[in-house]
Amino acid sequence: MQLVPKTVAVVEDDQSMRRSVQRLLDAHGFVTSGFPSAEAYLSDKAAATFSCLVLDVDLGGMSGTELQQVLTESGSTIPVIFITALEDDSIEEEAVRGGCIAYLHKPFPGSVLVKAINDALA
């Protein structure tokens, strides 16, 4: 029996960072879908099928923490891993209170992100 790979959504407004994260995850056996904004993610019909969400905090338009709140309020239980270049303790506290699996500061080792996703999906 062949295992079905887990699909990870990557919501990151920086195209080069989004591609880098997707390449890293693809190399570790995940299937990825990338989105340039929270709004693009929410409008995707496949959003409910993703296994995990890698989410930038500082997005144009709706922020990552706002998206996390919208998902929680809608009953979604998708595991969220935040990635950010921001150094703001209050945002990190908000994300953790919202139930994120991990909160990673850029630049972060790829192995840390992969481990966080594997832990989220275990």
Token code pair at residue 84: 């950010």
pTM: predicted TM-score of the whole model, two decimal places: 0.93
Strands (E) in the chain, as ranges, are 7-11, 31-35, 52-56, 80-84, 102-105
pLDDT exceeds cutoff 90 at 48: no
Domains annotated for the chain, with CATH where assigned, are: 7-121 (3.40.50.2300)
* pLDDT per residue as tens digits for the range 22-33: 999 999 999 999
Q: What is the mean pLDDT of residues 38-45?
A: 96
pLDDT band at 1 (very low <50, low <70, confident <90, very high): very low
Reported as type and span, the H/E element at residue 16 is helix 15-27
pLDDT exceeds cutoff 70 at 84: yes
Per-residue b/e over 17-54, b at no fewer than 16 CB within 10 Å? bbeebbebbeeeebebbbbbbbeebeeeeebeebbbbb
- Whole-angstrom distance, CA of residue 104 vs CA of residue 112: 8
pLDDT exceeds cutoff 90 at 93: yes
pLDDT exceeds cutoff 90 at 36: yes
